[in-house]
Structure 1
Amino acid sequence: MGQTISIAAVYQALESVMDPEIPVLSVLDLGMITDVSIDQTADVVHIRMIPTFAACPAVSYIQNNIKTTVEKELGIAVTVEIDKQVHWESNRITPAAKEKLKNFGIAPPQVVEGEMKAEIMLHTPCPHCSSEYTYLRSPFGSTLCRAIHFCKSCGQVFEQFKPLE
């Protein structure tokens, strides 16, 4: 290898790997990356990641996007593996990502402190008008990580990224 790759350069490349179901969020925004290491002697970057939900159908797709994006941007071989030692939780989503979700029309998950209770999803603020006069229509949305709500103030149906601990 002619150049030394830095961890910061890998993270910069990861900023452009977007979630296929929520294209305004990167894998970094979602807190999916758990470790990055570089083996300079073997010219390989090792990336460990976690899916947002265990049964997420997009995991292989995301792994491939991470691999191809980082390889293309940095010109180095990349391995991407699932980190089975870390459990993803919605608190890993960055504050900036929560704002991006809201602007995209999806209510961000509330912060989970202590034991997760179903009541946390009952009065989710509407991402369109910010009203808390909402109700949960279905805990099952278009993907495993979303629920469907209705806003009684503006009349919009909206999805929420489910809180998870």
Structure 2
Amino acid sequence: MVNEATVAEPGVLEQRAWKAAATVTDPEIPVLTIEDLGVLRDIRVDEASGAVTADITPTYTGCPAMNMIAVAVDVALRNAGFTDVKINTVLSPAWTTDWLTTEGRAKLKEYGIAPPSGQTGRHALFGQDEVDCPHCGSADTERLAEFGSTACKALWRCRSCGEPFDYFKCH
């Protein structure tokens, strides 16, 4: 039970819970919050009891970071004063890079990871033809490997500046 379970304005507890959960960062890409990624899908609070339920969606089925994310969301909500916490992993609809926020895309680029280009669609099944280098901005790049430091990224290299970089794959 949260101390202010009898708040006069509906939605205040949801806002507080969302704000707390949204601070959780991705353990594989620590510059991104789960809100930036679109992994945090929903927060519901029972206004009478203060029980909170958070829905999270993995970037891909089997993502090893999801257990850590679920624990971190639970801790963040408990630190915000919620004691009755439930975390749901929701697989449908499947996560898509379209759910990345504009801020998240900018953070990826600043961190040296090329954000996904465009929106998902059939082209995502066959790879991205052109990826701009997050270091120098050149489009003269090449894919070195379909998988980079994690399964959701591919390894690329810039022919202009010579730097290797991860590309956050569209899906």
TM-score tier, shorter chain, comes to over 0.9
State whether residues 10 and 74 of structure 1, in contact with CA within 8 Å, keep that contact through their aligned partners in structure 2.
no
Give 1:118 deviation, angstroms.
4.8
User: In the comparison of the two structures, how many residue pairs are matched?
Assistant: 164
Cα distance in 2 for residues equivalent to 1:149 and 1:114: 21
Question: TM-score, normalising length from structure 1?
Answer: 0.92
Single out whichever of 113-122 and 10-19 deviates more from structure 2.
Answer: 113-122
How many angstroms does 1:119 deviate by?
A: 5.3
Indicate the residue corresponding to 1:127 in structure 2. Answer: 134
Question: What are the residue-to-residue correspondences of 1:30-69 with 2, within 5 Å?
Answer: 30-69=37-76
Deviation at 1:35, TM superposition (A): 1.6
- Moved beyond 3 Å, runs of 4+: 116-120
- Which structure 1 segments of 5+ residues have no match? none
Counterpart pick for 1:137 among 113, 132, 144: 144
Q: Is 1:10–2:17 an aligned residue pair?
A: yes
Structure 1 residue 112, shift from structure 2 partner: 2.0
How far has the Cα of 1:114 moved from its partner?
3.5
Please report the TM-score for the alignment, with normalisation by the length of structure 2. Answer: 0.89
Q: 2:107 corresponds to which letter in structure 1?
A: K
1:158 Cα offset (Å): 0.3
Structure 2 gap segments, 5+ residues each: none
Amino acid at match of 1:2: N
Establish whether residue 72 from structure 1 lines up as the match of residue 72 from structure 2: no
Q: 1:55 to 1:116 in 2, by over 3 A?
A: farther
Measured in 2, the distance between the counterparts of 1:117 and 1:16 equals 29
Which residue of 84, 97, 116 maps to 1:90?
Answer: 97
The alignment yields a C-alpha RMSD, in angstroms, of 1.5
Residue 2 of structure 1 and its aligned partner are, at CA, apart by: 2.9
The residue matched to 1:12 in structure 2 has which SS?
helix
Equivalent AA in structure 1 for residue 3 of structure 2 = G
Q: How far apart are residue 82 of structure 1 and its match?
A: 0.7
Distance, in Å, in 2 between the alignment partners of 1:49 and 1:134 is 34
In the alignment, the residues of structure 2 paired with residue 40 and residue 91 of structure 1 have an alpha-carbon distance, to the nearest angstrom, of: 32
Q: Residue 121 of structure 1 aligns to a residue in which SS?
A: coil
Mapped to 2, the partners of 1:84 and 1:51 lie a distance apart of 7
Give the 3-state SS of the residue equivalent to 2:121 in structure 1: coil
The sequence identity of aligned pairs, in percent, is 32
Q: Specify the SS of the correspondent of 2:116.
A: coil
Indicate if the aligned counterparts of 2:116 and 2:168 stay in contact, CA closer than 8 A. Answer: yes
